[in-house]
Amino acid sequence: MEFEKRSQRDKQGAHPRRQGTPRQPYRGKRPRPVKPPRPQPRVQRRPEELKPIPIGKKCNPLCPFFRCGNRALTVMTKYESGKPVRIAFCRWIGDNCIGYQCQYAYCDRKALLPDGTCAFAVREEQEKKKTKDYLEELAEERMDEKARSILVRRLGRRDLEDLEF
């Protein structure tokens, strides 16, 4: 009987309760516990997706490029008549941000002009007022035969046919 128990112990390992191969000795390296991934912020926007938000031509403190030199700008949500309204709040003075009038205000894209206008708004306005092409201006004007003959020599017949005098 003892012989049978010993043969079973040899098959199982050193201890009767532990079965299989004996455990490796502790060498000072324990596996670290796996941490759960951090939650991502609610809104992730890439810099190329951001667009300026001027009010008319003036700079807006809610614009994603508007910054405060004192790092005192926070965007808060207040509820007026049950509707959420975003406002820019200055922690330094404890009141609403005065925007471009503040001496610490600046634009991250360097688009805040000294009078408070946004350079992006000015650029959009200029793009709307497209300058007319030189040839289109010539087509609108009435030209005499001498000017027309000079243009034929300089520009060629193809360009002059497009003008339709």
Please report whether residue 55 resides in a domain: yes
Residues 116 and 79 in one domain: yes
Same domain as 142, residue 88 = no
How does residue 16 score in pLDDT terms, banded at 50, 70 and 90? low
d(CA 110, CA 124): 16
In total, how many domains does the chain have?
2
Domain that holds residue 98: 51-128
More confident position, 159 or 91: 91
Question: Looking at 21-35, 55-69, 131-145, which range is the least confident one?
Answer: 131-145
Mean pLDDT, the chain, integer? 77
Q: Are residues 117 and 90 in the same domain?
A: yes
E strand intervals along the chain: 66-68, 73-80, 83-90, 95-96, 105-107
CA distance 97 to 94: 9
What's the pLDDT tens digit per position in 92-126?
A: 999 999 999 999 999 999 999 999 999 999 888 87
> Is residue 23 domain-resident?
no
Domain shared by 78 and 142, yes or no = no
pTM of the model: 0.51
Both 118 and 147 in a single domain? no
Asked if residue 93 and residue 71 are part of one domain, the reply reads yes
Statement to judge: residues 88 and 118 lie in one domain: yes
Shared domain check, 146 and 119? no
59 and 116, same domain (yes or no): yes
pLDDT digits (tens, 9 = 90+) for 50-100: 888 888 899 999 999 999 999 999 999 999 999 999 999 999 999 999 999
Helix/strand/coil for 147: helix
Region 19-37: what's the mean pLDDT?
70
How far apart CA 128 and CA 130 sit, in angstroms, is: 6
Q: Is pLDDT larger for residue 155 or for residue 64?
A: 64
Q: Is 32 inside any structural domain?
A: no
- Bridge-based pairing of strands 83-90 and 105-107 is unpaired
Q: Would you say residue 57 lies in a domain?
A: yes
Same domain, 119 and 62: yes
pLDDT at residue 44, rounded to an integer: 59
pLDDT at 135 over 90: no
Q: How far apart are CA 112 and CA 121, in angstroms?
A: 10
**pLDDT higher than threshold 80 for residue 136:** no
Tell me, yes or no, whether 21 lies in a domain.
Answer: no
Could you tell me which of 128, 120, 127, 123 has the C-alpha nearest to residue 66? 120
At 150 the pLDDT is 79
